[in-house]
Amino acid sequence: MAWRSVGANNEDLIRQLKDHGVIASDAVAQAMKETDRKHYSPRNPYMDAPQPIGGGVTISAPHMHAFALEYLRDQLKPGARILDVGSGSGYLTACFYRYIKAKGVDADTRIVGIEHQAELVRLSKANLNTDDRSMLDSGQLLIVEGDGRKGYPPNAPYNAIHVGAAAPDTPTELINQLANGGRLIVPVGPDGGSQYMQQYDKDANGKVEMTRLMGVMYVPLTDLRS
């Protein structure tokens, strides 16, 4: 994406993303306004570019988080189960929580962020509690440590899955954990090579259709040993 922006504050950043058509819906704008990036990005929180958060990991640029919310918004409903693979700082996981909560309250709602670095699990929980402790206290937003390439079976199947790092090829295990009617968005391609954001939709009969959305550049989806 050629356009870049720096906001004076979080609200200004979101306004600019909306003015430039990156954010298409008021509901996505509101969820991002309520989730101030200063709690999740210690450096340049309002710059529309990836920023380091530690452990060799970055928080994605705001426009990529906006795209994720827009592409998944039809699946983000009260009672839904959402998986955020490579949840990093916890920012997008918090946006998912707030987006759904604004639509209504359902005891079955679960938003799971999975991260393989223990230090990032600790950091993201601290970020979420600094932002609003009630998110984790609700029991509906969970941050777990694990290999996100294998999904998180305890809360499967998921209505929406977002992956924040590039899978080298089709993420079969994540597709298997997608509910009928669900949607997965994931960057696919080799590290340093051509990568594309791909959307996988599973219909009511379990048939999967892939749509290539855009060219992207992400770090590879790994575990601690790779």
> Which pLDDT score is estimated for 223?
59
pTM confidence score: 0.93
Identify the bridge partners of residue 58 per DSSP, sorted by sequence position.
52
Q: How far is CA 84 from the centre of its chain?
A: 5
Q: Is 25 annotated in the active site?
A: no
Please report, for the chain, the start and end positions of each structural domain, with discontinuous segments joined by +.
8-214
Q: In CATH terms, is domain 8-214 a member of 3.40.50.150?
A: yes
Q: Does residue 136 contact residue 125 with C-beta atoms inside 8 Å?
A: yes
Residues of the chain scoring pLDDT < 50: 1-2, 226
> Which pLDDT score is estimated for 195?
87
Give the active site residue among 5, 60, 87, 89.
Answer: 60
Helix 62-72 vs helix 10-19: crossing angle, to nearest 10 = 60
Alpha-carbon distance of 53 to 42, in angstroms, equals 7
> Which pLDDT score is estimated for 2?
42
> Which pLDDT score is estimated for 217?
72
